[in-house]
Amino acid sequence: MRRQERGLEGKNVLITGATSGIGRAATIALSQANPERMLIVGRREERLQELGSELNRLYPQIKVDRLALDVRDRVTVEKEIGDYCTRYPIDLLLNNAGLAAGNAPIDQCDTDDWERMIDTNVKGLLYVTKAVVPAMIKQGKGHIINISSIAGREVYPNGNVYCATKHAVTALTLGMRQDLVGKGIKVSQVSPGAVETEFSIVRYHGDEERARKVYEGYTPLTAEDVAECILFMATAPEHVNIAEIFVLPAAQGDTRIFTRD
Ligand code: NDP
Ligand code: 8X3
């Protein structure tokens, strides 16, 4: 099977978490497939502006819209994304916005970290999906790609709640597929292992030195590696649903085993 070179021609694409890491790289990669319109979403307005300008420079034919919002804000998501979809029904939704916060045994975690992860990774993904799906159903086609993780397939010590949220994403991918398959909507997920982005800086609350150590002694995935997987999945022929891509650095055995120099 080959991917369709211009497989998003005429289509509208929405990417959450486009301001950094996998979401930013995926936005640029998906532009290669020549969509009609892209809605890029994240909280950091200046980053959305910068990415919008970059896309205008690289692909001036693509219409780029920016929406600075917090996916945890249910009312704003319903209104802003819901309104957008009535004007421009989304053909491809990349549910990527997410984070880990903290890395501690269950009895020593910060409850605020739990709230952030559950509210963003699970509830935020649901709010965005609910705002997008009615227009997809109306047009009888669409594709939702959720970013889960190796942490959606196994758990590791101190990963407790982050792993639970990514297991929830995996469960939601399976459940959404069952519910939407009869309506012409494909549901897939990409489950990466270690990718060097701002992920660990966020997880360790800005401690860059500790974040750097996560990727020490081996070559982690880049955001662009994962973006290539997303592009391949998004541009599969209409009759093909690549249900999951599980992608690891060659040096990663599971969540705990890494071959380091
Ligand atoms: P980054 O921290 O680089 O990017 C996270 C993105 O999510 C940013 O664009 C951020 O935008 C956005 N985001 C976070 N919280 C919110 C929010 N409340 N509302 C809107 N946007 C939000 O990390 P990654 O690129 O690595 O992470 C992307 C996804 O990949 C996440 O779901 C993560 O769990 C998953 N993943 C990451 C792996 C890794 O090793 N890096 C491995 C497996 C999965 P802003 O701050 O501007 O709002
Ligand atoms: C991010 C990868 O293994 O740190 O989802 O949880 S891991």
Domain positions in the chain: 12-247
Q: Is the CB of 192 under 6 A from ligand 1?
A: yes
- The residue whose C-alpha atom lies closest to atom 6 belonging to ligand 2 is 151
Joined tokens for residue 109? 């975690």
Write out pLDDT tens, residues 109-139.
999 999 999 999 999 999 999 999 999 999 9
CA-based nearest residue to 199, from 14, 40, 22: 22
pTM of this structure: 0.98
The CB density around residue 136, as the number of other CB atoms within 10 Å, is 23
142-147 vs 92-95, strand pairing mode: parallel
pLDDT at 4 over 90: no
**DSSP letter for each residue of 158-178:** T-HHHHHHHHHHHHHHHHHHH
Joined tokens for residue 59? 């692909």
Q: How far is the CA of 182 from the centre of ligand 1 (A)?
A: 30
Q: Is the CB of 159 under 6 A from ligand 2?
A: yes
CB 59 within 8 A of CB 31: yes
What pLDDT shows up at residue 5? 85
Q: Is the CB of 235 under 6 A from ligand 2?
A: no
Q: Which CATH superfamily is 12-247 part of?
A: NAD(P)-binding Rossmann-like Domain (3.40.50.720)
Q: Is the CB of 150 under 6 A from ligand 2?
A: yes
User: pLDDT band at residue 49, thresholds of 50, 70 and 90?
Assistant: very high
Residues classed as catalytic: 162, 166
CA-based nearest residue to 96, from 174, 19, 179: 19
Give the C-alpha distances (Å, rounded to integers) separating 214 from 22, 147, 150.
Answer: 17, 20, 15
Q: Is the CB of 92 under 6 A from ligand 2?
A: no
Name the 3-class secondary structure at 59: coil
- The residue whose C-alpha atom lies closest to atom 5 belonging to ligand 2 is 149
Give the whole-angstrom CA distance, residue 89 versus residue 135: 5
Instruction: Among the bound ligands, name the one nearest to the CA of residue 99.
Output: 1
Write out pLDDT tens, residues 79-98.
999 999 999 999 999 999 99
Q: How far is the CA of 130 from the centre of ligand 2 (A)?
A: 26
**DSSP letter for each residue of 188-217:** EEEEES-B-SSHHHHHTTT-HHHHHHHTTT
**Closest ligand 2 atom number to CA of residue 166:** 5
Place of tokens 């489950």: 191
- Across-strand partners of 15? 40, 94
Q: How far is the CA of 108 from the centre of ligand 1 (A)?
A: 24
What pLDDT shows up at residue 6? 86
Q: How far is the CA of 97 from the centre of ligand 1 (A)?
A: 5
Give the whole-angstrom CA distance, residue 83 versus residue 88: 9
Which amino acid is present at 231? L
Place of tokens 């205008």: 56
User: pLDDT band at residue 32, thresholds of 50, 70 and 90?
Assistant: very high
Which amino acid is present at 224? E
